[in-house]
Amino acid sequence: MKMFKRSTKISAVALMICAFMFSANSFAQKTVKIEGHDNMKFSVEKITAKPGEKITVELTTKSKLPAVAMSHNFVLLDQGVDARDFAMAGSKHKDHDYIDPAKEDEVIAHTDMASGGETVKVTFTAPKKSGDYEYICTFPGHFVSGMKGTLTVQ
Ligand code: CU
């Protein structure tokens, strides 16, 4: 009888530990801090994530230039999207953060534009399908200057 009581206690503790680990895991959040500089490059060009993982991207623009000359955003594109076409189409949509409204379904997640000293963020769920996903800055001229990176889901 004594033995039985003891093992019940142990399994209750084990259950609590499991519950705690499970809840800690579901609240675990990956935050990726990226800086955008005047050289028109992201300071982080590779991000990895597990399928369905929750990620927050924080983008800070480090620049002394005015917003009209130097702003950055983070735009994660779906697989198979031509990033060059996407950036070109977006350049005509200044009032829409340089994202073509007609192409919004090609975007998995994006931040607002951040000018010098500003930080913008977006939280999203990594795609379920593993593979590479391209992210770009849609400020005119930045993608062609190499302002891009890859999110690898694996
Ligand atoms: Cu940019």
pLDDT tens for 56-92 read 999 999 999 999 999 999 999 999 999 999 999 999 9
Type of residue at 41: K
| pLDDT of the residue at 29 | 79
Q: What is the pTM of this model?
A: 0.82
Ligand 1 centre to CA of 39 (Å) is 9
CATH code of domain 29-153: 2.60.40.420
Ligand 1 centre to CA of 97 (Å) is 11
Ligand 1 centre to CA of 56 (Å) is 18
Q: Count CB neighbours of 149 within 10 A.
A: 21
| pLDDT of the residue at 18 | 47
Ligand 1 centre to CA of 38 (Å) is 8
Ligand 1 centre to CA of 107 (Å) is 17
Examine the pLDDT at 114 and tell me if it is beyond 90: yes
The DSSP result for 109-142, as a single string, is: EE---EETT-EEEEEEEPPSS-EEEEEE--STTT
Pull the structure tokens for residue 99. Answer: 């994202």
Ligand 1 centre to CA of 55 (Å) is 21
Task: Give the Cα separation of 22 and 26 in Å (integer).
Answer: 6
Q: Per mean pLDDT, which range of 13-17, 77-81, 139-143 is the poorest?
A: 13-17
| pLDDT of the residue at 128 | 97
Task: Give the Cα separation of 112 and 90 in Å (integer).
Answer: 13
Type of residue at 148: K
Domain boundaries, the chain: 29-153
